A and B are shown apart, each in its own frame.
Chain A
Amino acid sequence: MSLRRSVGLAGAAAALAVPGSASASLQQVLLPGPTPYPTQSPPLVAGGAPPPVSLPFAVRGRAVERVLAGVGPDGELLSLRVLHRLVLTGKGDYLIVIGAPVEDVRAGAGSDSQPGLRTDQILWSGFSPGKKVLAADAELRTSEAGRFLPLRLRAVREGDSYSLTITNATTVPQIAYAGKGFRRQLAGLLDQTRRESLAGERLSTVYATVDGLVRVRKDAARTSAPLRVEGSLRFPAAPESARGGTVRGKRITFSAVLGDDSPLSLRVDVRGGGGAPRLHVVARPTNLVRALVPPGAPSWAAAVRRRAIPADVLLSRLIDTRMQLVRSDQYQAFLSNPDPQGTNRTVYVYESTATPRPKAVATPEQDSGRGGLVLVLAIAGSVLCAGAVLVLWAHS
């Protein structure tokens, strides 16, 4: 749906914004960013009706999140918690409903209020006297929320060797468009995009001028959020050697950017260590650096003055990098912020955890199922008995 929406937006802009003074074939096309995002989640959503928006204009929201993923020895996801800290500024009433596959929620450290819990909803309600901190510590259902995490981890231990593969899981196919752009304008837009990326700002809305028809690009575009990953593996004993990381006593440390013209996965191979390690990986959606470096010049504007970079290459680079920045911005909010204009920052932390024990409590569904069966048997028995009595009476 969002892919269609992107193309639709571009098309709509192209159809409506033809400059009168220019040639009739010139069109203004909307470039990707800051929204829409290429997929619906993140931020997480819950099924059913969308939650009501009840944040007055005077109140703004800034969200900081820490997503804690507990992983097993093979890297599989076992638990998922989110520490969601929403700072409201401004005076007014608020009713905030954050949809997510939430199992349980309690107030986080420093919260000025207590969160409520409904089926797949975290609730906040009250009055902000000027500033209010709403901190939630939410436990999520891994089966539903886990697939929206930005990394996949896979660990293999064979004999004396251990290998960990960390993969950027944010890649999605996207429809990108192509057309005949204007080199100087495109270079200027690349410089603007680079400035916003380096400053860590959300992209501003921009248009590019295209001469003639806009068409869908033939090469299948795939977009990933660039992720800065840092981590460590703590072994029972000092490993003999490591590839993809640095040995520091019993620890192996590693870091990389997955995306931004760099590989989307990282592999760490370790020999020795005396057993399974404790893993700690931190991932942050980050800005683009490498993909927006101008070739052989301090700026894209200077680069196109020095050599003839084709306009279609510039347009392609502009669209691809902006889509990556949109995807990065999307992962800055794992739970939603009620203020669509509010800033979001999310850190994803993966840590080794013990395998959770299965819950021994019978579910209500099981109980009701059994109750239903008993009821059916009772009714069937009653009907048979009544039939038998009727037959006996009729033959008497």
Chain B
Amino acid sequence: MRRLAFLLAGLALIAAGCGKSSDADSPGRIVIAVDVPVTGSPYVAQTIKQGVELAAGNLNGSGGIRVGSRSYKLDVKLYDNHLSARRAVENTRRALDAGAVAVVTDGTGIDATWQIARPDGVAICIAYDGGTGLVDAAKRPNVFRIAPTNRGIAFRFAEYLIPKKLKVALFGDDSAYGRQGAADVARAFSGNPEAVALKLTLPAGETDLSPQILRVRRSGATALLVWAQPPAIAAVLSAARSIGWNVPVYAPPTGADPFIRQQLADHPSWVDGLTFASGRMTAEVGTAPFLNFQSQYESTYGVDRVGVRNAAGEPVSQPPEFATYSYDFVHVLVAAVSRAASVEPDKVLAALNEVTTEGANGDERGFNEHSHEGVVDDDVYFARFEDMVYTPVADDALSATLPPIPQTASG
């Protein structure tokens, strides 16, 4: 009987040893969940997803990630939140069940999802929505963002427009995006009320905004700042230009959305002069890092066509700006895994505050204990449309230093 006991114990030890050896030899998996509105906002979803997949593909292709004596491969899992907070909550639960170390999202449902992910120490990175209050390093320690913030964009608009002595009409559409942005813009301009002609909320689904534009024109406004979804910006441009009012129009990053140019393709001149703010695509080091990223992106996924042509008949393409943000987050995450020397989510989460990597645009990307924002306000630049393509403006100190990014075959 005693012999049997020793035999069983020996077999158990051998089995345990075999298991360990097998684990050590096969590469582990680091799951990154991508929760985006595939069926709600396909362009945004696609650009975020492709940024993550491109980074994961590059890292896996170069042997994966070494943590201690074991190597790991990145495993990207896609979830469709359909712009629904409820779906985002379900998706986050599924991602946690799948062992995700981090969730990359456009920002949908973040007010609920961060609380679900926090007990597991899982990081959530917003790669699109710049809404104020979504990210708070103290209150939401597992939420990070690599995207320009509404607050930063609003502040930069105030800094840019107030010295021009314009009377600015501040528009926001009645979407959550429009309301939040309009509130940030109002705060940014609150110290200079003389620069504001009036504030107005636009109906997001309305295609004819002629009455609102007439009212604004009568108010004496000399510029329009439209914080709205792309359809509302297109509608504002249509209403203003169709009555011959060439008022300068300013917009947040949604101003660069291909939808606006597609809507106004029959009147390309109506787009001319539209100025939008966004995160700069190139840093002081020049265009090389971004062009290198763009080249990889386009060779993997093809060129993002806007669906319009310039005056010379050349098709216009869209630089993959927002893909850089999700791409950068994967690299910051991997740096955190290396620093933590662990794939345990809570350890990786802590290490995310301690690392910096070079972003796809050549800028440094990283977070710290006080700020979980990966795009600083100083990186917000302004670009103006001319002939369906945009170039950085010359009358802003930062923007003037930035080279244009080619958007047609002839550049």
- B378 and A113 within 8 A (CB): yes
Question: Contact mask A96-116 → B, CB, 8 Å, 1/0?
Answer: 000000000110000001111
Tally chain A residues at the interface, Cβ within 8 Å.
Answer: 27
- A394 and B376 within 8 A (CB): no
- Interface size range of chain B in the complex: 20 to 34
Which residues in A have their C-beta under 8 angstroms from that of B353?
Answer: 118
Which residues in A have their C-beta under 8 angstroms from that of B4?
Answer: 394
In the bound complex, what is the Cα–Cα distance between A197 and B377 (angstroms)? 42
Residues of chain A in range 194-253 having any CB-CB distance to chain B below 8 Å: none
- A92 and B371 within 8 A (CB): no
In the bound complex, what is the Cα–Cα distance between A126 and B356 (angstroms)? 14
- B369 and A56 within 8 A (CB): no
Q: A91-B401, A394-B2 are in contact. Are A127 and B371 (CB under 8 A)?
A: no
- A56 and B377 within 8 A (CB): no
B15 CB–A CB distance under 8 Å? no
In the bound complex, what is the Cα–Cα distance between A123 and B370 (angstroms)? 10
In the bound complex, what is the Cα–Cα distance between A396 and B401 (angstroms)? 85
Which residues in B have their C-beta under 8 angstroms from that of A394?
Answer: 1-2, 4-5
Residues of chain B in range 356-396 having any CB-CB distance to chain A below 8 Å: 356, 363-364, 368-371, 376-379
In the bound complex, what is the Cα–Cα distance between A125 and B354 (angstroms)? 14
Q: A92-B284, A126-B378 are in contact. Are A118 and B354 (CB under 8 A)?
A: yes
- B5 and A396 within 8 A (CB): no
In the bound complex, what is the Cα–Cα distance between A104 and B353 (angstroms)? 14
From A93, which residue of chain B is reached at the shortest CB distance?
B284
Which residues in B have their C-beta under 8 angstroms from that of A396?
Answer: 1
- A390 and B371 within 8 A (CB): no
- B283 and A93 within 8 A (CB): yes
- A114 and B397 within 8 A (CB): no
In the bound complex, what is the Cα–Cα distance between A93 and B378 (angstroms)? 9
Q: Which of A54, A116, A127, A393 contacts B398 (CB 8 A)?
A: A127
- B397 and A393 within 8 A (CB): no
- B379 and A127 within 8 A (CB): yes
- B370 and A129 within 8 A (CB): no
- B369 and A125 within 8 A (CB): no
Which residues in B have their C-beta under 8 angstroms from that of A123?
Answer: 368
In the bound complex, what is the Cα–Cα distance between A92 and B400 (angstroms)? 11
A395 CB–B CB distance under 8 Å? yes
Distance in angstroms from B377 CB to nearest chain A CB is: 7
In the bound complex, what is the Cα–Cα distance between A125 and B377 (angstroms)? 10
- A114 and B371 within 8 A (CB): yes
A119 CB–B CB distance under 8 Å? yes
- B1 and A395 within 8 A (CB): yes
In the bound complex, what is the Cα–Cα distance between A123 and B363 (angstroms)? 15
In the bound complex, what is the Cα–Cα distance between A129 and B398 (angstroms)? 6
In the bound complex, what is the Cα–Cα distance between A91 and B379 (angstroms)? 14
In the bound complex, what is the Cα–Cα distance between A11 and B213 (angstroms)? 79
Which residues in A have their C-beta under 8 angstroms from that of B9?
Answer: 390
In the bound complex, what is the Cα–Cα distance between A129 and B159 (angstroms)? 12
In the bound complex, what is the Cα–Cα distance between A125 and B367 (angstroms)? 11
In the bound complex, what is the Cα–Cα distance between A25 and B354 (angstroms)? 55
Which residues in A have their C-beta under 8 angstroms from that of B1?
Answer: 394-396
In the bound complex, what is the Cα–Cα distance between A390 and B10 (angstroms)? 13
Question: Contact mask B94-112 → A, CB, 8 Å, 1/0?
Answer: 0000000000000000000
Which residues in B have their C-beta under 8 angstroms from that of A268?
Answer: none
From B370, which residue of chain A is reached at the shortest CB distance?
A117
From A113, which residue of chain B is reached at the shortest CB distance?
B378
Which residues in B have their C-beta under 8 angstroms from that of A93?
Answer: 283-284, 363
Which residues in A have their C-beta under 8 angstroms from that of B376?
Answer: 113, 125-126
Which residues in B have their C-beta under 8 angstroms from that of A125?
Answer: 364, 376, 378
In the bound complex, what is the Cα–Cα distance between A278 and B325 (angstroms)? 54
In the bound complex, what is the Cα–Cα distance between A393 and B397 (angstroms)? 82
Which residues in A have their C-beta under 8 angstroms from that of B369?
Answer: 116-118
- B371 and A393 within 8 A (CB): no
Distance in angstroms from A383 CB to nearest chain B CB is: 12
- A95 and B377 within 8 A (CB): no
Which residues in B have their C-beta under 8 angstroms from that of A54?
Answer: 364
From A107, which residue of chain B is reached at the shortest CB distance?
B370
From A95, which residue of chain B is reached at the shortest CB distance?
B364
Which residues in B have their C-beta under 8 angstroms from that of A116?
Answer: 368-371
Which residues in B have their C-beta under 8 angstroms from that of A91?
Answer: 397, 401
Which residues in B have their C-beta under 8 angstroms from that of A129?
Answer: 397-398
Which residues in A have their C-beta under 8 angstroms from that of B401?
Answer: 91
Which residues in B have their C-beta under 8 angstroms from that of A130?
Answer: 397
Distance in angstroms from A204 CB to nearest chain B CB is: 32
In the bound complex, what is the Cα–Cα distance between A190 and B401 (angstroms)? 48
In the bound complex, what is the Cα–Cα distance between A116 and B354 (angstroms)? 11
Question: Contact mask A372-396 → B, CB, 8 Å, 1/0?
Answer: 0000000000000000001001111
Question: Contact mask A115-140 → B, CB, 8 Å, 1/0?
Answer: 11111010101110110000000000
In the bound complex, what is the Cα–Cα distance between A4 and B2 (angstroms)? 71
In the bound complex, what is the Cα–Cα distance between A146 and B189 (angstroms)? 44
In the bound complex, what is the Cα–Cα distance between A35 and B363 (angstroms)? 33
In the bound complex, what is the Cα–Cα distance between A263 and B354 (angstroms)? 46
From B368, which residue of chain A is reached at the shortest CB distance?
A116
In the bound complex, what is the Cα–Cα distance between A95 and B283 (angstroms)? 12
- B5 and A117 within 8 A (CB): no
Which residues in B have their C-beta under 8 angstroms from that of A117?
Answer: 368-370
Distance in angstroms from B278 CB to nearest chain A CB is: 15
From A130, which residue of chain B is reached at the shortest CB distance?
B397
Q: Which of A114, A121, A127, A390 contacts B5 (CB 8 A)?
A: A390
In the bound complex, what is the Cα–Cα distance between A294 and B216 (angstroms)? 78
Which residues in B have their C-beta under 8 angstroms from that of A115?
Answer: 370
- A126 and B379 within 8 A (CB): yes
From A92, which residue of chain B is reached at the shortest CB distance?
B284
Distance in angstroms from B171 CB to nearest chain A CB is: 28
Distance in angstroms from A91 CB to nearest chain B CB is: 7
Which residues in A have their C-beta under 8 angstroms from that of B397?
Answer: 91, 127, 129-130
From B378, which residue of chain A is reached at the shortest CB distance?
A126
From A56, which residue of chain B is reached at the shortest CB distance?
B284
A-B contact pairs, 24 of them (CB 8 A): A91-B397, A91-B401, A92-B284, A93-B283, A95-B364, A105-B370, A113-B376, A114-B370, A115-B370, A116-B368, A116-B369, A116-B370, A117-B370, A118-B353, A118-B369, A121-B368, A126-B377, A126-B378, A126-B379, A127-B379, A127-B397, A130-B397, A390-B9, A395-B1
Minimum-distance CB pairs A-B, first 9 = A126-B378, A129-B397, A116-B368, A127-B378, A394-B5, A93-B284, A117-B369, A117-B370, A118-B368
Give me 14 other A-B pairs in contact (C-beta within 8 A), A93-B284, A118-B369, A126-B379 excluded: A54-B364, A93-B363, A95-B356, A113-B377, A114-B370, A116-B369, A116-B370, A121-B368, A123-B368, A129-B397, A129-B398, A390-B9, A394-B2, A395-B1
Measured CB to CB, the residues of A under 8 A from B are 54, 56, 91-93, 95, 105-106, 113-119, 121, 123, 125-127, 129-130, 390, 393-396
